Structure 1
Amino acid sequence: MNRILLLSCCMMGCLLQCLAQKQLPSYAVLQELIKKERPDTAEMRILLNAGYMYVMKPGAVGIDMDSATLFADKILASSIKAGNKIWQGQSYLLYSNILREQQITAKGKAYALEAKSIFQKWQQSAYLADTYVELANYYSLEPRENLDIKISCYKEAIKLYRAAGLKERLAHTLYVLGDLYNVTDDFKLLTETLAQSVAIYDEIKVEPGADVYSLLGTGYNRLGDFGNALKYNLLAVKVVESRKDTVSTNATVYNRLALLYHYMGESDEALKYYQKAWLIASKLNDTSTLRLLSINTAATYAMKKRPDKALAVIKRLERNYPPTDFAEKMWMYIFIAGCHMDLKQHNAALPYIRIVHKGKNQLPDMLHASADDIESRYYLITGDYVKSHQLALNVIATALRSKNLSLQSVAYHDLFQADSAMGNYKEAVEHYRQYKIVNDSLFNISKAIQISTLQVQFETQQKQQSIELLTRKSQLQRAALDKVRFTRNVIIAGAVMLVIMLALGYNRYQLKLSNNRQLMQKQNEINEKNISLQDLIATQHKLLGEKEWLVKEIHHRVKNNLQIVMSLLNTQAAFLDDKDALNAIRESRYRMQAISLIHQKLYQSENMALIEMSAYIKDLVEYLKDGFSGINKIRFDLQIANIKLDVSHSVPIGLILNEAITNSIKYAFTGNGLIKISLQETSPGQLTLIIADDGVGLPIEDNNRDRKQSMGMMLMNTLAEQLDGTLHIQSRNGVIITVSFKYQEEQAFTTSGEAITSPI
């Protein structure tokens, strides 16, 4: 049954079951009631139920609708004569059902609104809830505005059924609302709503239908809660197999359980239930379900690495149940091409690849990406690595947008192979690294699924053990009832047991006294040990304080020694006239100041192992600004993350910053200018330092070659290697120096706050 028909009829299905349980009078009796001038309440109820019975017969047969209308006319006329507005509203609701069944929707909806007005005025919660359910049937699933109105109608009905205490109708309406959430793909609300429905069914001791359990299991499946998904899908199968009937719902139940096993990696179990669903769909000649089962079965064989089996199933689909939808056809051709590729039958795959290539621009994003992927694989095998590389990049873009890890894994592997074949080994290594990262994520997801499966198996075993314990308890109770005639003996035995218990109690009291004495003795020993431990801790704290003082003193002395060296250099500079020597001394002084600042930060900070990079870089920039004339024309833009690094990272970074900033100040600007400094985390475990200016850029080619051999450039390259990182220098609207290096996350980031940005 298609979804629209299911949603429009499911509430009436519940009412039909209730009416079927009642034995309605024959048509002759109903004719007598119609002729009666003033039927009583019970007779009016009989006429109303008969009207609904005729409305809900399969199809909109004219004679059935005429009979239902006759009963509605009688109820309306009688209610008007008696001045009974409630029965008048019920007649309007019956008219609405009749007219809707005859596709006279405008008039039918008007009757439903009249009924709603009456029941609201007279505060009839139950009948008003029925009216909201009837109004919901006038709204289709498309467009979304109609679906939202339909959902709001069921929500109002649920409130009213809950207020009226009609729990079975409430449970069924919750199920219908959950099915609507399945249409909107809101699986969180679906599971919450269906869980309420199941709880109410349990409360009133009514077995929920297999479709209720199955839909709830589907919701948990889509949320990744495989434990609950397996639990409710198995309950649905249990209900189906206990009834031993053949309806289309059974095929859906088996298909949903099979899909769950497919996602959980239990391919053999998935195939077993697909086969059960196939037998039911074949018996009912349900071609749409057979087509769906063929697709799902083929996907499971592909997961089992059995492309031959998958190809056989999908060929049978192409032959016997060809899809009519364009996207479904394209998916089938992509799948067939993939199977041929897995079987090394590349020539057989080519016709399907060509068909897909012509129509892929009309496909949705994910299917378009699958088409690009199959083409990329084909070009990779046939040696056209450039095309393969470009198509794989397209797949990556779509996979990243949709967060599809499986598609990312395949595309990164294709890029790795294409890059390797073209000799782009650096890119190949990077793409292989990304491939391994994605595969690790897929592996972790697979492990989580396995753990969830084991958990539900454990819970099932626990429940079985609980059932066995309850069975044993019941048997013991029956045995106790059989021994009622031995009451006197039981009383005597009870007295004896009481004496024994008293003796045991006295014995336990003595043992407890003995245990208390032992515990007191042990407590005294523990107290003595605690005192010794406190003395030891105090000594350790004293030693630790002395150690911290010594470390601070070392950093202070290193800083002072560097200051002495800088003073010596300043003194030496006073006796020199050579410009190059003076420049060399000044650059050396700046480098020493960069290192000196680090040691100054260390002995001034509470943390003697890590440097607060934002404060350090700001102080370094301020010092360099003070060392040059005309610097007021140059602005600094600092974008430094809230990072703390150790000395082994801080010193190279400080020296690189010193070299880059002094070069920019000396060579980059002829007037005003801007120097940007950024230190940010670009990926987990990776930091990137960028120093960029908007000056004149690098000199012409020959001078540029000489500059690469300068001490500053050599120093920056050496420092980047010391950081185990990479150095890139670009001349684009100025000079951009980029240093990327690894760091240890637990040392680098103290908080997860945003980067510190400060213009200078």
Structure 2
Amino acid sequence: MMWRVAFCLLLLCGGLPQAARAEAPAVGRTESEQIQLLLGRDNAAALRRSRALVARAQHGPPAALAEGYWLLGCALRNQSRFDSSLYYGQRSLTLYSRLGQPTGMASAYTLLAQTYKRLADAQHVTKLTEQALNLATLAVAAGQQAQPPAVLSRAYVLQGIIYRDLKLYDSARVCYQRAMVVARRYPLLPSSLPVAYADYGQLLMEADHQPAAAIEWFRRAIPLYRREDNRNGLEHAYRNLSWAYQKLGDTAQAVATADSSLALGRASGDPHRLNNSLEVAYSAYRAAGRLAPALDLLAAWKESTDKLASADIVSAVTATRASYELEQQASRIGRLNRSNQQQRRLLWDLGVSLALVLGLLGLVLGQYWALRRSNRRLSASSRIIEANHTQLTAQSERLAVLLQEVHHRIKNNLATVAGLLRLQAARLTDPEALRAMRESQQRIEAISLLHQGLYQTSDVSTVDMRRYITDLTQSLWATHQTSKEIDLQLELATVHLDVEVAVPLGLLLNELVTNAFKHAFDQADTPRLRVAFGPDASGRLLLEVQDNGPGFNPAVQANNRFGRRLIPALAKQLAAQLSLSITDGTHYQLLLPCPT
């Protein structure tokens, strides 16, 4: 049995002594990358190198020390020294959090999650698995903030593994697929892509019961692992290949791949990995009917399982967490002490300042009595002013009510006039007279609508033009209803104008919109009317009325109708600039002076 294991290990290592290959420096790679690669093939060498890195970084930059703690935690995790692994992982996370480095934080969270996942595997405690999932979720969140987010692939792989342990297979599948996308776009060293391939194959085998499809994914992972000499990854791939071949009933391949997994597991120095490879080897030999080596492997597997499940591990982890919490508490106490010293210095400064203030207080008291006499005189004047203010406020409110009543009566009177015009128009037979009567009626109704808006609001001196233009346009639209659907576009800013400006502006708008409804849409397939009002770039108010009708000839129609003469007269009254464009319809623009 032992010669077979030794032969497989020698074959996988390429015939070179392990220590020589593991410790050989890699040209062009940082020390961190070299140690990460060592974690996949010689954990003992990785442990020595990471301890040396931590020792050198003690008086160096905090980022280098944080990275050393993380690498040391990874090496200790691979030796199932979970208490120490958690300790250094937490110290690494603390430093990276202070530095605000999401890449390092994601790596530290991933290490802590991996450690809790292995503890859960050894103890079969679901709470530990749930804690591992929480930490993996934090690793994903930190990895998403990293630029570039290369570490995100490791976090997604680990999150998928934990979801798989919790039987949440759909969530695991999504995580593996995301990990593949990130790993291809943002390569890491060592690569996360073969890990995602192998774990995805394991999901196909366990959840989907497709061992043949799973073998293809394991075979994809093996060349990538070999390229980086990642023996831990190879152990995982060969182990799952053996399980897949066992499910297919191919006992010869199952035993061969189990032997490869066992050789790599023995060489890794990782008790957790060795325990898994012993289990698969025992199962493969038993399935092949080779009971003698199967019994030896079963005994070795049970012994390994008992060591991993030791209660001392859990107590050590608990002690580590307590030690870390005490360290955090000591750090908080130190910060509080520094804060207390600052407060003592501040109190001393305040005492000195108070003495100076007391010296000035005597001078201030003399001024105080003088000011008090002045305040009494001012208070008497203030009471008189307040009484006058109250009287003026009451008068102002009464005037406002009177103005509202005036506007209400004006509106009612204008409505009466409009009604009389409507009755008179009903008796007319001359089309021109009837048209003139109806136009006059509409002009009166436009002014009446403005006064209606004034008495319905508390502000009786200015007109809300946005509301007024909307009501006036919709009123005219209802008056000139046609069989065609008109696209009415209102682009109105919130502007308030005095009544003296609002009345002529409302009459002018009434003429422009009425002309559009009467003359613009007979030949238009899809009638469109746009009314816009608001400040332009220079702060002046701009009124636009635009339709998509056939337009007209200003020279021919300038003086033949009263409305055509009324438009420029109202513009002159407003001191506004009136412009007309008859390209693609009729487009009036009225530019008013800046409002005061």
Using the size of structure 2 for normalisation, the TM-score is 0.40
Using the size of structure 1 for normalisation, the TM-score is 0.32
Relative contact order, CA 8 A, sep 6+: which one is greater? 2
Q: Which has the larger radius of gyration?
A: 2
